[in-house]
Amino acid sequence: MQVLGSKIKEARKAAHLSQAELAKGICTQATISNIESRNTCDSLDIFSQVCMRLGVDVNDFLVPSEEQKFNEFLDVIEDKCNHLKYKEAFKMLQDYSNPIPHHNSLLLDKYNYYHGITSLLGVKDSSEALFYLYQGAEIKDKVNIYNIMSDNAIGTMYALEKKMDRAKIYHDKSVKMLAEYGREIPKMAYKVFYDSSNFYSQHGDYKKSLKLCEQGIKLNKENNSSFYLEQLLYEVAFNKQMLGQDAKQDYIFAYYYAKFKGNKSIADAALKDMETHSISFDDK
In the predicted structure, residue 284 carries a pLDDT above the cut 60: no
Length of the chain: 284
Q: Rounded distance, CA 2 to CA 192, Å? A: 40
Domain covering 64-178 assigned CATH 1.25.40 in the classification: yes
Alpha-carbon distances, residue 205 vs 51, 99, 155, 282 (angstroms): 57, 45, 16, 30
Task: Report the pLDDT averaged over residues 110-119.
Answer: 97
The architecture in CATH of the region 5-61 reads Orthogonal Bundle (1.10)
In the predicted structure, residue 157 carries a pLDDT above the cut 90: yes
Task: Report the pLDDT averaged over residues 203-227.
Answer: 94
- Using one digit for the tens of pLDDT, what is the confidence trace for 160-207? 999 999 999 999 999 999 999 988 898 889 999 999 999 999 999 999
pLDDT-above-70 percentage for the chain:
99
Q: Where in the chain is the domain with CATH 1.25.40?
A: 64-178, 184-284
Alpha-carbon distances, residue 24 vs 4, 11, 37, 53 (angstroms): 20, 16, 19, 10
- Using one digit for the tens of pLDDT, what is the confidence trace for 26-85? 999 999 999 999 999 989 899 999 999 999 999 889 887 888 889 999 999 999 998 889
Q: Rounded distance, CA 94 to CA 124, Å? A: 15
Amino acid symbol at 162: K
Class of domain 184-284 (CATH, top level): mainly alpha
Q: Rounded distance, CA 88 to CA 73, Å? A: 13
Range 129-135 contact pairs with CB under 8 angstroms and sequence separation of 24 or more: 129/153, 129/157, 130/154, 130/157, 133/157, 135/108, 135/109
Q: Where in the chain is the domain with CATH 1.10.260.40?
A: 5-61
pTM for this entry: 0.79
pLDDT, position 2: 84
Q: In this structure, how many other beta carbons lie within 10 angstroms of the beta carbon of residue 267?
A: 20
CA dihedral angle for residue 56, residue 61, residue 64, residue 69, rounded to 10 degrees = 60
Q: Rounded distance, CA 64 to CA 73, Å? A: 12
